[in-house]
Amino acid sequence: MRKVTVGVDVGGTNIKLGLVRKAGRIIARTCLETKVYARHPAKLIQAMAEGIASLLRQNGFKKQNVQGVGIGLPGLVDPVKGHVIFLPNIPGWKNIPLRKHLEKKVGLEVFLDNDVNVMTLGEWRFGAGQGSDDMIGMTLGTGVGAGLILGGALYRGPGFGAGELGHIPVNLTGPKCSCPSFACLETYVGNGPLQRRAAKIFRHPGITLEEVFALAKQGNQKALGFWEEAGEYVGTALVGVVNVLNPTKIVIGGGVANTARFLFPAIRRQIKGRAMPVQAKMARVVRAKLGDDAGLVGSRVLVETEQNIK
């Protein structure tokens, strides 16, 4: 009986590999260092194949016990062709037919998607999004992104570019963004801009967001105001999303979501106060449950949904 899927979660620092059982249980894992392979996609594909083979061998799985391999990548991916179109933070990855190369090496079916989509699939099926057929999975970290579950399925858009919630404009003028625009949500609440604003407010260039979080926990008014303002920006963008898509759950994860107790009340206030009443009432803002495992857990859901099995 086919029982296990292999998950691969490609991040800017690490590449996590894991064996995932039914219900999203991770039973074994290993890790590669991304920078070693940054400019060498062929080497990385070889390392992935070897990592997968040794994970299976060490845990007593033969290929016939494996349902498939699911991969989440930090960038634009064509899940239909199985191509990596572009990874902004990993140099050398442009138009790489990853699925074809890896399938040849490992002899298993391979599925790819954008990492935020994969995380969203994981939270939807096994995490905080369970029970919702219309869910936004949002990550707040270095970048701000989202995956969209609409009508019980992942919505990718015809160019696989849907869900770029970090690039919703939240002001008429504002900081230049990494995209062609300016004043995007990400230019206010990405890790970099938040850190820079904290440095200004606390007059301390090296202050970390963890320190600002700790200060908020101690009741420091400036720190409380800092997180409240961040929540207001996120909430402002979400008002539009809630009105347009009418989601029942907004699942927020990523490093900045650790400050949920300060951030979420401001987000909810924005939605409650500004979104249209029916949509606002239905939209629950909750914290992601799967943490760093969301990518590996979601990779199983990716394989299951793409193969159309459960």
From 125, 167, 268, 300, residue interacting with Zn ion (rule: CB under 5 A): 167
The DSSP result for 82-115, as a single string, is: TEEEE-TTSTT-EEE-HHHHHHHHH-S-EEEEEH
Is the Cβ of residue 70 or residue 145 nearer to Zn ion in the bound state? 145
Name the residue type at position 206: G
Q: Which stretch binds Zn ion (CB under 5 A): 70-78, 107-115, 184-192, 208-216?
A: 184-192
Q: Which of 303, 308, 252, 260 is nearest to 123 (CA)?
A: 252
Cα(251)–Cα(288) distance, integer angstroms? 5
From 181, 195, 220, 246, residue interacting with Zn ion (rule: CB under 5 A): 181
Shortest separation between residue 253's beta carbon and Zn ion, angstroms? 20
From 121, 138, 184, 286, residue interacting with Zn ion (rule: CB under 5 A): 184
From 76, 177, 199, 201, residue interacting with Zn ion (rule: CB under 5 A): 177
Shortest separation between residue 196's beta carbon and Zn ion, angstroms? 16
Tell me: does residue 189 bind Zn ion (CB under 5 A). Answer: no
Q: How many CB atoms lie within 10 A of CB 54?
A: 12
Tell me: does residue 146 bind Zn ion (CB under 5 A). Answer: no
The contacts found for 13-19 with CB under 8 angstroms, 24 or more apart, are 15/44, 15/48, 16/295, 16/296, 17/48, 17/51, 17/52, 17/55, 18/55, 18/296, 18/299, 19/55, 19/56, 19/59, 19/61
Whole-number Cα distances in Å, 34 to 47, 263, 271: 11, 31, 38
Q: Which stretch binds Zn ion (CB under 5 A): 10-18, 52-60, 170-178, 191-199?
A: 170-178
From 80, 179, 276, 278, residue interacting with Zn ion (rule: CB under 5 A): 179
Tell me: does residue 27 bind Zn ion (CB under 5 A). Answer: no
The site for Zn ion, by CB under 5 A, has a size of: 5
Tell me: does residue 176 bind Zn ion (CB under 5 A). Answer: no
Binding residues (CB under 5 A) for Zn ion: these are: 167, 177, 179, 181, 184
